[in-house]
Amino acid sequence: MPIQLINGTHIFFERSGEGDEVIVFSHGLLFNHHMWDAQVAHFKNNFCCIAYDHRGQGQSDSIGNLDMDTLYEDAAALIEALCPGKPVHFVGLSMGGFVGMRLAARKPQLLKSLVLLDTSADPEPNRLKYLLLNQVFGWGGAKLVSDKVIRILFGKSSLEDPSKKSILEMWKRTIENYPRNITRAVAGVIYRKGIYEELSQINTKTLVAVGDEDVATTPAKAERIHQAISNSQFKRIARAGHSACIEQPESVNQLIGSFIR
């Protein structure tokens, strides 16, 4: 089982493929490295793919602070350990995007390109709403809030599509099986500091993409990032919510592939 000791905690990752160039995949809140299964399967024939679990989620340890700056430091140390001297393509969704923006602004030498999916550069605007959900989560367990959480994480088209029922149910079970201390990771997102003021420092080639049904980090948030990063492209992903890589994997694969080619 691949585990790397990073900044005093054990970070779980999976490495697939043997390509010369490396893609690092960074998942969103309440998911894990399996969020990227469709992307890893698509790219591993031509790239080395590394998908990891954030501190406090998945199979990584839940030790120390779980704020975005700590997660950024974990990601930087992981890249330095696994890919010494080799800049990577970094693909981050939501929380993974919070990490990716910090990497590009503060340690650009680690990145060859940056893909930001369904993310925001601002503090959480719905803090009170999510604090209440997190309190219920911690008090009574995830089953009390999982239906509401799924409606935040996935778009209307996915929720109404019978062909996506099984994968949505699988992620719902994953969320419901998290231990109650996952609320620490959720709090790290709820109380996150904005990164918008640092975006003008990013010169890394960047793709900003967002599901057109994303209610958690809306298309307007993505456009705001795009406008602040000079070397960036902006794309909308049709019929996707806040989990575009799961909801529309073929579209996301095409966007990433065209961008990093």
Q: Which helix (H) or strand (E) holds 9?
A: strand 9-16
How high is the pLDDT of residue 18? 86
Mean pLDDT of the chain: 96
Residue 166 to residue 154: CA distance in whole angstroms: 13
How high is the pLDDT of residue 1? 56
Residue 117 to residue 120: CA distance in whole angstroms: 9
Residue segments in the chain with a per-residue pLDDT below the cut of 70: 1
Q: Contact at 8 Å (CB) between 4 and 78?
A: yes
Residue of 252, 234, 205 whose CA lies nearest to 28: 252
How high is the pLDDT of residue 139? 87
Q: Contact at 8 Å (CB) between 134 and 187?
A: yes
Buried b (16+ CB within 10 A) or exposed e, 144-180: ebbeebbebbbbebbbeeeebeebbeebbebbeebee
Q: Please tell us whether the domain made up of 3-125+194-260 is placed in CATH 3.10.129.10.
A: no
208-254 per-position pLDDT tens digit: 999 999 999 999 999 999 999 999 999 999 999 999 999 999 999 99
Q: Contact at 8 Å (CB) between 155 and 213?
A: yes
Residue 31 to residue 60: CA distance in whole angstroms: 12
How high is the pLDDT of residue 180? 86
| Model pTM above 0.85 | yes
CB atoms within 10 A of CB 77: 15
136-150 per-position pLDDT tens digit: 988 888 888 899 999
Backbone phi, then psi, for 68, in 5-degree steps? Answer: -65, -30
87-101 per-position pLDDT tens digit: 999 999 999 999 999
How high is the pLDDT of residue 143? 86
Residue 224 to residue 210: CA distance in whole angstroms: 12
Number of residues written out for the chain:
261
For residue 185, the SS3 value is helix
